[in-house]
């Protein structure tokens, strides 16, 4: 690892001040589970490292007036085991529990997972179907944007160089909302997704009021598939519609072939997993 | 190069030292404090041989900057037991063949201890999930799972 200067701000204001002052060769450090490896491999060689783990505002899960707020530097293990999230958004806990190991999730943060912006980030699809928003802080103040506008490309986000991600905000899902996350990977544990599929439905009186479908690891950024959702919204869940939604999702995927899986396999798995998710959530 | 003063309490003993920003907890504990129970297997978070408990939580110490955990309480396998006085977890690994070459064992023992503290009576499936961040090339895991089951049962 190349030498660097280390900084440990105690507030977001101080952190933003450091980011503006230190200029382009500065990197934010959270849990370090992506960054330390990149620095060790010298694919990232910052001159300054700003550790945001001692900033109290960035820590913890809390709920108030219909919104659940997760501080960006909250560990994935805390997200996974949070009683509030287990109650209101279990699909997020389920998805996060597939990331690395307990040791990794004790270090890794939810903000780091999103800011690292790997197409396969497992926190992204569940947060997308939960309609999460992100709050960023920079020298110009705060910005609030939907998570789906946060991802710009592999390893690219909407953050400016002097901005940090402060929090993820989830509108409390209406009762009757259920979600499910499938992660397809060659190994059951400690492996990244070759396909990640999150499906959510809101049902009443036997109808599918609203469907939400999100895909990870099959495009440059995690996707919502609005066209597939539209097929189901407001309709009785018939097999034909479920199959069509699964096919549209498959066609929306733009995967690459790599050592882990071929593009064809990934597309086929998107169709299978979307269909399985919808059938599971819409039956009984 | 610029250095930073830090304090660490490792296995109950306090240390003050100067570290560079880039020094990782694993190398500081092994090379500077000469506490060599934690092993460097992969340095990428995959093998768990470097597992330490830091402020109550098991972590892969190869991915932790020492400067970032200034003030921390750290436990390695040395803080759990030694040859003269084995911890029940260590005893179970010996008795049930959960240890062969031994390189993975310090990580497994630290992780098992932390895992059982949170979940004293796990199912086999929970053990496999809880220990999935520790790799072993010798035992095939069955005997490690047996060892952990034995500790959990003896404590019932
Ligand atoms: C063994 C292993 C297994 C893994 N398995 C998985 C897996 O199955 N699924 C998965 O999705 N990921 C996996 N990961 C990747 C990693 O653990 C996650 O992406 C993690 O959530 C990153 O969070 P962090 O806090 O460690 O981020 P860091 O490494 O600290 O930071 C990651 C990036 O985000 C930036 N950043 C962090 N916080 C902020 C912030 N608040 N504002 C702005 N920028 C910020 C950093 O500058 C850096 O560029 C694995 C990693 C390891 C080592
Ligand atoms: S050396 Fe840390 S996980 Fe392998
Ligand atoms: S006993 Fe040899 S690697 Fe586990």
Domains in chain B, ordered, with CATH? Answer: 3-79 (3.10.20.30), 88-154 (1.10.150.120)
**What is the domain-level CATH number for residue A10?**
3.30.43.10
Q: Mean pLDDT over residues B16-37, rounded? A: 98
Compare CB distances from B45 to A1, A49, A104 and report the shortest one's residue. Answer: A104
* 3-class state of residue A167 by DSSP: strand
State the 10-residue block means of pLDDT for chain A, 284 residues long: 97 97 94 98 96 98 97 98 98 97 98 97 98 97 98 97 97 95 86 95 92 97 98 93 98 93 96 98 85
- Interface of chain B toward chain A, CB-CB under 8 angstroms: 1-2, 4, 20-22, 24, 43-46, 48, 51, 57-60, 62-65, 67-68, 111, 114-115, 128-130, 132-134
pLDDT in tens, B58-77: 999 999 999 999 999 999 99
Q: How many domains does chain A have?
A: 3
pLDDT tens across A232-272, in order? 999 998 999 999 999 999 999 999 999 889 999 999 999 99
Same domain, A104 and A164: yes
Q: Distance between CA A33 and CA B44 in Å, rounded? A: 8
Distance A278 CA to ligand 1 centre (A): 30
Question: Same domain, yes or no, for A103 and A127?
Answer: yes
Verify whether ligand 3 is closer than 6 Å to residue B109 (CB atom): no
CATH number at residue A112: 3.30.465.10
* Percent with pLDDT over 70 in chain B: 99
- Tell me, yes or no, whether A201 and A123 share the same domain: no
Q: Are residues A138 and A190 in the same domain?
A: no
Band of the pLDDT at B132, cuts 50, 70, 90?
very high
Closest residue in A to B2 (Cα) is A5
Burial A37-68 (b: 16+ CB within 10 A, else e): bbbbeeebebebbbbbbebebbbebeeeeeeb
Query: Which strands sit side by side in the sheet containing B3-10, from one edge to the other?
Result: B13-20, B3-10, B73-75, B51-54, B57-60
Q: Give the range of the structural domain holding residue A218, as residue numbers without chain letter.
A: 178-282
| A96 and A135 both lie in a single domain | yes
Q: What is the mean pLDDT of chain B?
A: 97
Under 8 Å between Cβ of A111 and A72: yes
Atom of ligand 1 nearest to the CA of A75: 25
Model pTM greater than 0.90? yes
Of chain A residues 84-123, which have a CB less than 8 A from chain B? 100-104, 106-107
- Of A171, A203, A222, the residue at which a domain comes to its end is A171
Both A183 and A167 in one domain: the answer is no
**Residues facing B65 on adjacent strands:** B24
What's the rounded Cα separation, in Å, for the pair A242 and B70?
54
> Are both A131 and A196 inside the same structural domain?
no
Residue of B20, B39, B60, B130 to mutate for A, most A C-beta atoms under 10 A: B60
A37/A90 same-domain check: no
Number of the ligand closest to the Cα of B59: 2
Contacts of B128 in chain A (CB under 8 A): 189
Q: Which ligand is nearest to the CA of B106?
A: 3
Looking at A171, A202, A234, the residue that finishes a domain is A171
Q: Tell me: do A230 and A268 sit in the same domain.
A: yes
Check residues B135 and A24 and name the one with the higher pLDDT. B135
Residues A67, A28 share a domain:
no
Tell me A256's DSSP state: P
A268 touches chain B (CB under 8 A): no
B156: confidence class by pLDDT, cuts 50, 70, 90: low
8 Å CB contact of A36 and B134: no
Instruction: State how far the Cα of A181 lies from the Cα of B60, in Å rounded to an integer.
Output: 26
**Residues A167, A62 within the same domain:** yes
Strands (E), B2-130: 3-10, 13-20, 51-54, 57-60, 73-75
Report the CATH number that the domain containing residue A278 is assigned in CATH: 3.30.390.50
């Amino acid at each position: 690892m190349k030498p660097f200067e280390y900084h440990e701000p105690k507030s977001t204001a101080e952190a933003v001040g450091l980011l503006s002052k230190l200029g382009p060769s500065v990197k934010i450090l959270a849990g370090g589970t992506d960054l330390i490896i990149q620095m060790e491999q010298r694919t990232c060689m910052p001159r300054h490292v700003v550790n945001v783990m001692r900033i109290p505002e960035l820590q913890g899960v809390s709920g108030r007036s219909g919104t659940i707020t997760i501080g960006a530097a909250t560990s994935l293990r805390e997200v996974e085991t949070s009683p509030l999230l287990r109650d209101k958004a279990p699909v997020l806990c389920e998805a996060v529990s597939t990331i690395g190991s307990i040791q990794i999730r004790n270090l890794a943060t939810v903000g780091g997972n999103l800011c690292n912006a790997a197409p396969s980030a497992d926190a992204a699809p569940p947060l997308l179907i939960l309609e999460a928003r992100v709050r960023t802080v920079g020298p110009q103040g705060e910005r609030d944007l939907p998570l789906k506008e946060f991802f710009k490309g592999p390893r690219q986000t909407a953050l400016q160089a002097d901005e940090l991600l402060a929090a993820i905000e989830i509108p409390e899902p209406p009762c009757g909302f259920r979600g499910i996350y499938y992660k397809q990977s060659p190994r059951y544990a400690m492996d990244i997704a070759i396909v990640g599929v999150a499906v959510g439905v809101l049902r009443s009186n036997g109808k599918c009021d609203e469907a939400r479908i999100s895909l990870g690891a099959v495009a440059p950024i995690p996707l919502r598939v609005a066209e597939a959702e539209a097929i189901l919204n407001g309709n009785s869940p018939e097999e034909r519609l479920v199959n069509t939604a699964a096919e549209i999702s498959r066609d929306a995927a733009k995967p690459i072939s790599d050592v882990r899986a071929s593009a064809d396999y990934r597309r086929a798995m998107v169709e299978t997993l979307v269909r399985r998710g919808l059938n599971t959530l819409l039956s009984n | 190069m610029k250095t930073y003063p830090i304090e660490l309490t490792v296995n109950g003993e306090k240390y003050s030292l100067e570290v560079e920003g880039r020094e990782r907890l694993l190398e500081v504990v092994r090379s500077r404090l000469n506490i060599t129970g934690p092993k460097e297997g992969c340095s990428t978070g995959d093998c768990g041989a470097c597992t330490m408990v830091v402020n109550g939580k098991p972590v892969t110490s190869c991915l932790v900057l020492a400067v970032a955990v200034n003030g921390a309480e750290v436990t390695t396998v040395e803080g759990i037991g030694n040859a003269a006085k084995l911890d029940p977890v260590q005893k179970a690994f010996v008795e049930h063949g959960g240890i062969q070459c031994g390189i993975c064992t310090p990580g497994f023992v630290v992780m098992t201890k932390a895992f059982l503290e949170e979940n004293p009576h796990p199912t086999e499936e929970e053990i496999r999930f809880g220990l999935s961040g520790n790799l072993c090339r010798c035992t095939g895991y069955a005997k490690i799972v047996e060892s952990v089951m034995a500790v959990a049962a003896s404590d019932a």
